[in-house]
Amino acid sequence: MTFFSRFTTVRMDLENLIYISYRVPVSRIRPLVPPILSIASDDENRAYVSFVAMRCRNVRLSACSWPRFNYDQMNLRTYVIDPQTSGAAVYFFQSGVSIGIVPVITRLMGIPWQKIAFNLDKRSPSTYRASGHWRGAVAFEIESRRNEPLQELVVRHLTGPMMGFMGSQGNLCSFNIRHRSLEVQAGTLHSIRFPFAIQEGLVTEIELKQPDSVLMVPEAEFEIYLPPHRVSERR
């Protein structure tokens, strides 16, 4: 990392990183993703949509120990192919955070995060509960299953991408992410309310309660390389 990049790289400690994911027809996703991005689909022309929640702690620039921010975050995302490298990437439909100053800062850099009401708590050594409001009341409860086997290909697909895209056609930007290997655990969903995903037509109310995958990471350290880069619409 160069001297100057330390002033544009954001570090954060993540706690209780949760991925609740659904395999849905690509036809539902395609209208919401800029055409330049190919959707990462399987042989049945289905792709994952994930609802991801986390506690972000000690969010700061690499070059500075202060100021630091703490907030809870949610995002709704799918998985795409980077048109430049053909590598795995994430497309964020929307992201929201629980304190107002952070969206102000990120929007100045071209990342349209939203201010939402959201709180994620660890209720027991294995139980996690969230509540809030994001285009309707949001709530879920999961239980981690440390000894339950994982599907490694699914884990890598959902947690491995190091490139993110956000924005609409004509205003698409990309940013790089770095993190060490994650200690992923399986989880069980006990309850969920997330009307945003239903309103967008990404999942049905029945599907919402029956995810294809629930993953949980107790802690991790992420780096985000900013500012984001504008993506050309030319293939």
| Strand ranges inside the chain, DSSP E | 9-25, 38-39, 46-61, 69-81, 88-97, 114-115, 117-122, 127-133, 137-145, 163-166, 173-179, 185-193, 213-230
Least reliable range by pLDDT among 93-97, 123-127, 231-235: 231-235
All structural domains of the chain with their residue ranges:
5-228
Contact 189, 145 (CB under 8 A): no
The predicted model gives 147-175 an average pLDDT of 93
User: How far apart are the C-alpha atoms of 100 and 84, rounded to whole Å?
Assistant: 34
Residue 175: its pLDDT value, please? 94
Query: How many Cβ atoms sit within 10 Å of the Cβ of residue 23?
Result: 16
pLDDT at site 5: 57
| Percent helix, percent strand, percent coil in the chain, to nearest 5 | 15, 50, 35
Q: List pLDDT tens digits, range 41-92.
A: 999 999 999 999 999 999 988 777 778 899 999 999 999 999 999 999 999 9
Residue 98 has pLDDT above 50, yes or no: yes
Give the pLDDT score at 2. 54
More confident residue, 204 or 104: 204
Pairing state between β 114-115 and 88-97: parallel
3-state DSSP assignment of residue 7: helix
| Share above pLDDT 70 across residues of the chain, in percent, rounded to a whole number | 96
Does this model's pTM top 0.75?
yes
pLDDT at 235: 47
Question: Which one, of 45, 59, 47, lies nearest residue 13 by Cα?
Answer: 59
Running DSSP on this structure, what letter comes out for residue 211? -
For domain 5-228, give the CATH number: 2.40.400.10
C-alpha 86/C-alpha 108 separation (Å) is: 29
Bridge-based pairing state of the strands 88-97 and 163-166:
parallel
**Distance between CA 38 and CA 131 in Å, rounded?**
33
Which tokens is 133 given?
């409001």
What pLDDT, on the 0 to 100 scale, is given for residue 81? 97
